């Protein structure tokens, strides 16, 4: 080691989890040029420091490899993050509605207040969603769009007017505009089962200008860093057009401002034109083009619309049409010819089995070989289908959708059916390539610790035990599912996902010890220090001075300014409902005035001193 160059950075005096079985718990690590250069004893590594080496004392805290999300709609989420009021983590509907009222008070026309996924009614102590009357009362004039999973959206009267839904507006295929006895839209949109009605309606809202989208994406990346995320595979998404909607993240990559490594897949946008999309893209772009921070990862998750079985467990499983197989085969042939991997959204085993018929047929004439193709989600995949996937060399990317929809699944299919949905333990036992992610931001939260909580405890975020202990994962195995096991899915095996010499220096130092805390607290873990490529991208607590500055969220009415992103489920409780209790109270300040003044004056997290300045006599923590 004395012959090596001095490290750029040394971290020591922590509980280091490498996920390297040959050296699982070293005392220190060193970093040179964005890679781990030494992993071992502090007595050997510390003396290699030079005059310019930064040495960080971890104070006994847990260090883990940076988390990798195998399925995140990061690019689309970043473009919209600053416009969205996130209810992720909020555990009281009263708090959520107080946040909504506060945001309505500062949102200028013609902008909307948007609560776009990442939560479920079961996380609220009230175990329900707001009513349309409650939303209209909170926002009589400002458009409000509230997306709950991919089963429904709730629009107030102002939002209905903004999108132009009226008595003569027809229901789209696979969706329903709920109406009153006179035939007028009530504001409830239902996916039955096609979610297109939900995100097509959302797409009618105002968009941020490009410079604001750049700022918005940076803030989303920082919130991911706060949760320990250092890499993600972007799964495309509806209304995410290539290459136009990739320009912002491409600019951040070119400017060296990406703080999450992104491998992106291309998602077809127009039914019956999928073949043309992939013909054009495979001619215009090359698989793996880009660099270690931003590169093309293949096709999907939408390959053909006829194969999309949306996961709304509140309705019957959709039967895929007869044209699925020929349409899917046409696209898969193009991808195999060009050696592009793919990922295919598939919730149900019935869809997976039919897709495998296609893959096996193509493989007979054009061997798939080492293409890293995968099924996404696979909640009800059978052992027989898993055997077929393994024989063809494919993989399965699971996400924590059952943590948000487990109650609905049990209601429809029964508790016994939910015990191995998806059958992660069986996949691992069979040696199937499998990893984990979130499917955020609309259908579930982007917090990977919720996914870890779900895999370890077998519980939904509403607390329902759906997975028996025999089908849950131990904590180390679960952590591997969100680190080293994701690398096969982005063709980066051996390059990241562990703390090992030669791998990317991507890591997170946690605010509590993941391996020692009660299972319920896993969902509350955050990172105090996140490093990507040897560069500090997030710091909090004792490491806050190391954090790079970030410009304020734009525009100035952004919900991110007041509330941030993912909410601490305990700290948030009661912090906003006091506003509602003030209405017509002895303090003489109306709740709406409280909300307007509080939202305009306080930073994310609140400022107790503000209440005294306002003259409020009823505020209490």
Write the DSSP string, 577-601: HHHHHTTTSTT---HHHHHHHHHHH
Strands 261-266 and 152-155: unpaired
pLDDT tens by residue, 500-528: 999 999 999 999 999 999 999 999 999 99
Mean of all residue pLDDT scores within the chain: 93
Among 249, 259, 255, smallest CA distance to 548 is for 259
Q: List C-alpha distances in Å: 288 to 76, 188, 357, 487.
A: 20, 42, 28, 14
pLDDT band at 572 (very low <50, low <70, confident <90, very high): low
d(CA 539, CA 546): 6
Q: What is the arithmetic mean of pLDDT over 3-31? A: 95
pLDDT tens by residue, 15-26: 999 999 999 999
Among 423, 419, 174, 408, smallest CA distance to 313 is for 408
With a cut of 90, say whether residue 621 has pLDDT above it. Answer: no
Q: What is the arithmetic mean of pLDDT over 549-559? A: 97
Which strand (E) or helix (H) includes residue 12? strand 9-12
pLDDT tens by residue, 137-179: 999 999 999 999 999 999 999 999 999 999 999 999 999 999 9
Q: The tokens of 405 are what?
A: 């929809």
Strands 144-148 and 113-116: parallel
pLDDT at res. 569: 84
pLDDT tens by residue, 459-482: 999 999 999 999 999 999 999 999
Among 182, 122, 117, 118, smallest CA distance to 154 is for 117
Bridge partners, 248 (sequence order): none
pLDDT tens by residue, 300-345: 999 999 999 988 999 999 999 999 999 999 999 999 999 999 999 9
pLDDT tens by residue, 42-97: 999 999 999 999 999 999 999 999 999 999 999 999 999 999 999 999 999 999 99
pLDDT band at 615 (very low <50, low <70, confident <90, very high): very low
Share of the chain above pLDDT 70, in %: 91
Q: What is the arithmetic mean of pLDDT over 531-553? A: 97
d(CA 214, CA 557): 16
pLDDT at res. 597: 52
Evaluate if pTM is beyond 0.85: yes
Name every residue whose Cβ is closer than 8 Å to that of residue 264 and which is 6 or more positions away in sequence.
75, 233, 234, 236, 246, 294, 295, 296, 297
Share of the chain above pLDDT 90, in %: 90
Torsion of CA 293, 299, 305, 307, to 10 degrees: -120
pLDDT higher at 456 or 580: 456
């Amino acid at each position: 080691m004395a012959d090596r160059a001095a490290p750029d950075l040394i971290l020591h005096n922590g509980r280091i989890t490498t996920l390297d079985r040959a050296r699982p718990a070293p005392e220190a690590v060193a970093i040179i040029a964005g890679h781990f250069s030494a992993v071992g004893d502090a007595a050997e590594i510390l003396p290699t420091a030079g005059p310019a080496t930064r040495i960080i004392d971890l104070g006994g805290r847990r260090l883990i490899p940076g988390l990798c999300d195998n399925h995140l709609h990061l690019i689309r989420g970043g473009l919209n993050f600053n416009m969205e009021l996130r209810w992720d983590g909020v555990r009281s509907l009263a708090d959520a509605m107080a946040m909504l009222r506060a945001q309505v008070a500062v949102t200028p026309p013609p902008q909307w207040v948007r609560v776009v996924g990442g939560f479920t009614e079961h996380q609220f102590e009230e175990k329900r969603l707001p009513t349309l009357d409650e939303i209209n009362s909170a926002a009589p004039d400002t458009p409000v769009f509230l997306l709950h999973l991919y089963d429904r959206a709730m629009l107030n009267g102002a939002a209905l007017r903004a999108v132009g839904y009226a008595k003569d507006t027809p229901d789209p295929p696979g969706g329903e505009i709920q109406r009153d006895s006179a035939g007028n839209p009530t504001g409830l949109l239902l996916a039955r089962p096609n979610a297109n009605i939900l995100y097509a309606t959302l797409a009618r809202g105002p968009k941020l200008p490009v410079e604001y989208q750049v700022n918005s994406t940076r803030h989303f990346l920082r919130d991911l860093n706060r949760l320990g995320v250092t890499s993600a595979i972007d799964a495309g998404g509806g209304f995410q057009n290539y290459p136009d909607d990739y320009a912002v993240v491409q600019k951040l990559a070119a400017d060296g401002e990406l703080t999450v490594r992104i491998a992106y897949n291309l998602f077809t946008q127009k039914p019956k034109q999928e073949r043309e999309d992939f013909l054009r893209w495979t001619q215009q772009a090359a698989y793996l083009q880009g660099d270690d921070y931003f590169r093309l990862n293949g096709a999907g998750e939408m390959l053909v619309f006829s194969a999309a079985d949306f996961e709304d467990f509140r309705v019957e499983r959709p039967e895929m049409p007869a044209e699925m197989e020929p349409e899917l085969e046409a696209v898969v042939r193009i991808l195999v010819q060009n050696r592009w991997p793919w990922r295919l959204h598939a919730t149900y085993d019935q869809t997976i089995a039919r897709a495998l018929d296609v893959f096996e047929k193509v493989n007979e004439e054009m061997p798939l070989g080492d293409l890293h193709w995968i099924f996404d989600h696979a909640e009800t995949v059978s052992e027989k289908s898993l055997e077929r996937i393994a024989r063809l060399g494919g993989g399965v990317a699971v996400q924590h959708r059952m943590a948000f929809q487990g109650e609905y699944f049990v209601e429809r299919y029964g508790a016994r059916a939910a015990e191995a949905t998806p059958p992660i333990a069986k996949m691992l036992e069979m040696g199937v390539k499998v990893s984990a992610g979130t499917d955020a931001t609309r259908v579930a939260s982007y917090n990977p610790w919720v996914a870890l909580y779900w895999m370890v405890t077998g519980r939904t975020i509403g607390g329902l035990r759906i997975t028996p202990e025999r089908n849950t994962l131990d904590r180390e195995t679960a952590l591997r599912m969100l680190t080293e096991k994701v690398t096969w899915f982005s063709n980066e095996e051996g390059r990241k996902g562990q703390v090992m010499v030669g791998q990317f220096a991507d890591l997170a130092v946690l605010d509590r010890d993941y391996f020692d805390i009660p299972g319920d607290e896993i969902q509350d873990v955050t990172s105090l220090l996140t490093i990507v490529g040897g560069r500090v991208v997030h710091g909090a607590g004792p490491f806050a001075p190391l954090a790079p500055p970030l410009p304020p969220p734009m525009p100035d009415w952004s919900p991110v300014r007041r509330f941030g992103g993912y909410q601490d489920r305990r700290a948030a409780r009661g912090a906003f409902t006091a506003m509602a209790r003030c209405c017509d109270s002895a303090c003489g300040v109306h709740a709406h005035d409280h909300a307007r003044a509080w939202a305009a004056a306080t930073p994310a997290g609140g400022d107790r001193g503000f209440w005294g300045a306002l003259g409020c006599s009823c505020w209490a923590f």
